[in-house]
Amino acid sequence: MERLVCLAAAAARNAWAPYSGFAVGAALRAGGEEFLGCNVENASYGLTVCAERVAAWRAVAAGQRDFQALAVYTPGEEPGMPCGACLQVLAEFAPDSLPIRAACAGGKVVDTTLGALLTAPFRLRQGGESNGS
């Protein structure tokens, strides 16, 4: 996980965050490979994309759908957790046991899992049934 944190910190340097000033980096291990993402803000705020989703989409675009671990790096003194939208995207390709490490510039680290952060993900079940509406 420490390697993923270092990669996430490096990815944060590429963030486009002129509006929030909050540069986030993510590093996702999927299928034994590492995929980086950074947040990309837009003047039309609704078009902003989080670092975690950028990393996830890069993995999927490369043909990887077996998400194994995620690290997120944020500025400041407290680690930032993935938002609900990012957690739902991760749940599409990862089990509840997916390890997530959130680290910050201040040096604090929080280790958790996807299931601890997203307790009731929407997932399609076999036969078209779903657990959500």
Is residue 23 pLDDT above 90, yes or no? yes
Residue 45 confidence (pLDDT): 92
Domain of 76, in residue numbers: 2-119
Q: Is residue 38 part of a domain?
A: yes
Q: Is residue 125 part of a domain?
A: no
**Residues with a known catalytic role:** 52
Q: What angle do CA 37, 39, 45 make, to 5 degrees?
A: 150
Residue 18 confidence (pLDDT): 97
Percent of the chain with pLDDT over 90: 92
Q: How many domains does the chain have?
A: 1
Residue 71 is part of a domain; what is its CATH number? Answer: 3.40.140.10
Is residue 124 pLDDT above 90, yes or no? no
Residue 85 confidence (pLDDT): 97
Q: Is residue 61 part of a domain?
A: yes
Q: Is residue 131 part of a domain?
A: no
Phi and psi, residue 4, nearest 5°: -65, -40
Average pLDDT over residues 55-61: 98
Q: Is residue 66 part of a domain?
A: yes
pLDDT in tens, 96-106: 999 999 999 99
Specify the amino acid at residue 75: P
Q: Is residue 132 part of a domain?
A: no
Average pLDDT over residues 28-42: 97
